[in-house]
Amino acid sequence: MPFKVLHLDSESTWRGGENQIRLLLQAVQNENWQWHLAAPPGSEAIARMSHLAQTFAVPMRGARILTASFAVARYVRQHGIQLLDCQSGRAHNLGLFVKKLCPHVKLVVHRRVDYPPAPGYWHRQKYVHPSIDRFVCISSAIQKILAEFGVSPSKLTTVRSAVDSGPFADVDRQAARRILTNEWQIAPDQTIIGNLAYITEQKDHATLIRALGILQQRGLPFFAYIAGDGALRPAAEALAAELGLGPDRLRFLGVRKDVAQLLGATDIFALSSQDEGLGTSLLDAVHSGCTLVATAVGGIPEIVLHERTGLLAPAKDHQAFANNLERLLRDPALLERLRTEAQAHVARQFSLQSMVNGNLRVYEELIQGPARH
């Protein structure tokens, strides 16, 4: 009999959490595992993963969570689901209701953000509730936060997120550089600083843009791009204009489909987030051959070991961020050493197989019980 796992995902868009589900399901397609996915109608998760799992569309927002809990509970009974894996905050809420209706099912919650749960009685109960069998944290930093919040260490497991390295490692960097430097009309030997992220408060592009402004003031040669969109894009573009960062220095590319080629043409990947559960875009960049400059928040220091696999600056410190970028612009040997060491570190600690095996171990242990496992 296969293990039967239902993933609960309350998001309509496609972001890091949805991609981690996809990578897991895609890697494990055999008779030992039967995958199910419940997500909102019209969601990207259902659209992109219907060939990997049996899908179930159910509205989950607002007051609909009660209706959804009964619908999911019926689905659990009908399909003999043994374990629920809640992939978001709203799914966490839904999972607790379903567990009340189906007490036999095992309940797992994936935690992907690096800030403490909100204070208050309900939020505390949500995290220390006895119905939850395990929290899977995507970084050690998140596990530490939940332990400090009061979650029992016996219910905490770290399984770091991973990425599929293939699309990035297979890119011809020289060819990608030729194509994109021609598109941007810059010199082929220009040092390229790249950022791919939603332009949101969390990603704090203002720190990166201010750092680029400092590099320009110091007379350092570089070209930078920001690929992505978001509510704060107009403000980011206005800040760049205010600092005199024209299109010969910084370009906003919007949403791009050629992510692997962009990273393949990039020398330095710069991520100035003010919070980050892990930062899988950094893993994409490492597989693409980039050198990392980032902020020391959340799980990022588990990827970027300062002076070993990249350079770190405090969050919101554009001076320190600029100084790190300048070091790499002035020292090609340092840039190359950090790039090489980052590739070795990520291969050891953040492989796709490790992520898959880590999640499967949690599922097997809970479904079979510690003794049989």
Evaluate if residue 298 carries a pLDDT over 50: yes
Count of domains observed in the chain: 2
Distance CA 2, CA 30 (A): 9
Q: Are residues 75 and 154 in the same domain?
A: yes
Chain centroid, CA 56 distance in Å:
24
Residue 251 lies in a domain: yes
Distance CA 71, CA 305 (A): 46
Q: Are residues 297 and 254 in the same domain?
A: yes
Instruction: Write out the residue range of the structural domain in which residue 9 sits.
Output: 3-162+352-368
Distance CA 83, CA 244 (A): 54
Q: Are residues 101 and 173 in the same domain?
A: no
List of residues 6+ apart from 91 with CB closer than 8 A: 8, 9, 10, 60
Q: Read off the CATH number of the domain in which 174 is found.
A: 3.40.50.2000
Q: Are residues 141 and 274 in the same domain?
A: no
Evaluate if residue 372 carries a pLDDT over 60: no
Residue 373 lies in a domain: no
Q: Are residues 156 and 203 in the same domain?
A: no
Evaluate if residue 370 carries a pLDDT over 80: no
Of the two residues 139 and 121, the one the predictor is more confident about is 139
Residue 35 lies in a domain: yes
Evaluate if residue 63 carries a pLDDT over 80: no
List of residues 6+ apart from 180 with CB closer than 8 A: 192, 261, 262, 265
Structure tokens at 8: 């609960």
Q: Are residues 146 and 124 in the same domain?
A: yes
Sheet (strand 223-227) strand order: 250-254, 223-227, 192-196, 268-271, 291-295, 311-313
Q: Are residues 292 and 342 in the same domain?
A: yes
Q: What is the pLDDT of residues 209-257, one digit of tens each?
A: 999 999 999 999 999 999 999 999 999 999 999 999 999 999 999 999 9
Which pLDDT score, from 0 to 100, does residue 266 have? 98
Residue 115 lies in a domain: yes
Q: Are residues 187 and 286 in the same domain?
A: yes
Residue 266 lies in a domain: yes
Q: Are residues 214 and 234 in the same domain?
A: yes
Evaluate if residue 317 carries a pLDDT over 90: yes
Q: Are residues 231 and 283 in the same domain?
A: yes
Q: What is the mean pLDDT of residues 263-286?
A: 96
Q: Are residues 356 and 345 in the same domain?
A: no
At 146, which amino acid appears? L
Residue 270 lies in a domain: yes
Indicate the average pLDDT of the chain: 95
Residue 235 lies in a domain: yes
Count Cα neighbours of 333 within 13 Å in the Cβ-side half-sphere: 0
CA-based nearest residue to 292, from 278, 304, 275: 304
Q: What is the pLDDT of residues 148-200, one digit of tens each?
A: 999 999 999 999 999 999 999 889 999 999 999 999 999 999 999 999 999 99
Q: Are residues 292 and 182 in the same domain?
A: yes
Chain centroid, CA 359 distance in Å:
16
Residue 345 lies in a domain: yes
